[in-house]
Amino acid sequence: MPDLLALPKTELHLHIEGTLEPEMVFALAERNGISLPFDSVDELRERLEFTDLQSFLDLYFACSIVLRTRADFADLARAYLARAHAQGVRHVEMFFDPQAHTSRGVAVDTVIDGLRDALAEANLEWGITGGLILCFLRDLPVEKALETLESVAHRAGDLVGVGLDSTEVGYPPELFERVYRRARELGLHAVAHAGEEGGPEYVWPALEVLGIERLDHGIRSLEDPALVEALRERQIPLTVCPLSTVRLRGVDTMVEHPLPRMLDAGLLVTVNSDDPSYFGGYIGDNYVAVQQAFDFDLSTMVMLAGNSVTASFASDERKAELR
């Protein structure tokens, strides 16, 4: 098997706050005079063991408080983009969680400006293309999501789309119908996390009420044959994150991951990293993990990389270059 890190690829499911490495947590805390609920990098590393989605999210939001300035967000994204470049990424559509920052008094423009600084540099330096997907925290009130969207309406051109993340069970997608209608008016693409911990009943409304163009995770869709058929027939891409699902205990081990069954069902599956500093690997590491678990041949790995190009919101011209 050739080096899968070198295989050109596109990343479609990546939370930029989930690339915050423990060393950077401490460096930014010191730079900003913030005290942390852990004493050392090693103590933080010891906490990177999760029982479910919520146990991860608690740590993810606890670490995100070190991000305050435009330079912090630029440094975070620069570090991610350097690692992504080293693992073959040529196009990335990056999630960010503005409400995790605005709730602490950080302006949304500070977040967007910093992330865009790093994306512009990576474009100049390495030719990496892509953009930002603004995610709403689904466990906060819908009114807060609407306020967040209106606060960036004047610069919708700086965004690729909107998404929905954080705690899933108890917060069904249809709550966000008005938010997604407004996002569409602003010309934004629409994706959502669904079917990660929630069952197929959380995926259907993401498709039918929110009108998503791409489904994040979606692994529990397999439990409903009619849903699988809808996803297959419409060729809705699924952004699967194998190491994430293992680390959040969606499956016990990688060999039990449903990815091969999803491919057999004719779904448009892509491989992504989700929160690489928390889940033990960047995108190339996810490619290596699935190749090893399922003994996939090179043509399957190339097909997965090609699916990510198809599933992206890049222009047709850029897609042709990425293939």
Question: Which chain residues interact with ligand ES4 by CB under 6 A?
Answer: 15, 18, 53, 60, 165-166, 193, 196, 244, 274-275
Q: Cβ distance 4 to 298 under 8 Å? A: no
Instruction: For residue 196, indicate whether it is catalytic.
Output: yes
| Separation of alpha carbons 277 and 192, rounded Å | 22
291 binds, among ligand ES4, Zn ion, none (CB under 5 to 8 A by kind): none
18 binds, among ligand ES4, Zn ion, none (CB under 5 to 8 A by kind): ligand ES4
| Separation of alpha carbons 119 and 229, rounded Å | 37
Piece of 123-131, 142-150, 270-278, 309-317 that binds Zn ion (CB under 5 A): 270-278
Position among 137, 163, 274, 312 found at the interface with Zn ion (CB under 5 A) = 274
Of 17, 93, 196, 197, the catalytic one is 196
| Residue with Cβ nearer ligand ES4 (17 or 75) | 17
277 binds, among Zn ion, ligand ES4, none (CB under 5 to 8 A by kind): none
| Separation of alpha carbons 272 and 269, rounded Å | 10
Is 13 labelled a binding residue? yes
Is 109 labelled a binding residue? no
Range 294-310 burial, b when 16+ CB lie within 10 A, else e:
bebeeeebbebbbbbbe
Piece of 28-36, 62-70, 259-267, 272-280 that binds Zn ion (CB under 5 A): 272-280
Is residue 72 part of the contact set for Zn ion (CB under 5 A)?
A: no
> Residues near 259 by Cβ (< 8 Å), separated by ≥ 6?
240, 242, 269, 271, 290, 294
Is 91 labelled a binding residue? no
| Separation of alpha carbons 259 and 279, rounded Å | 18
Residue nearest to ligand ES4 (CB): 165
Q: Cβ distance 97 to 56 under 8 Å? A: no
Strand partners, 190: 162
Is residue 93 part of the contact set for Zn ion (CB under 5 A)?
A: no
Is 275 labelled a binding residue? yes
Reduced to 3 DSSP states, what percent helix, strand and coil does the chain have, rounded to the nearest 5?
A: 55, 15, 30
Q: Cβ distance 163 to 134 under 8 Å? A: yes
| Active-site residue list | 196
Q: Which residues bind Zn ion (CB under 5 A)?
A: 274
Binding residues: 13, 15, 193, 274-275
Task: Give the residue numbers of the binding site for substrate.
Answer: 275
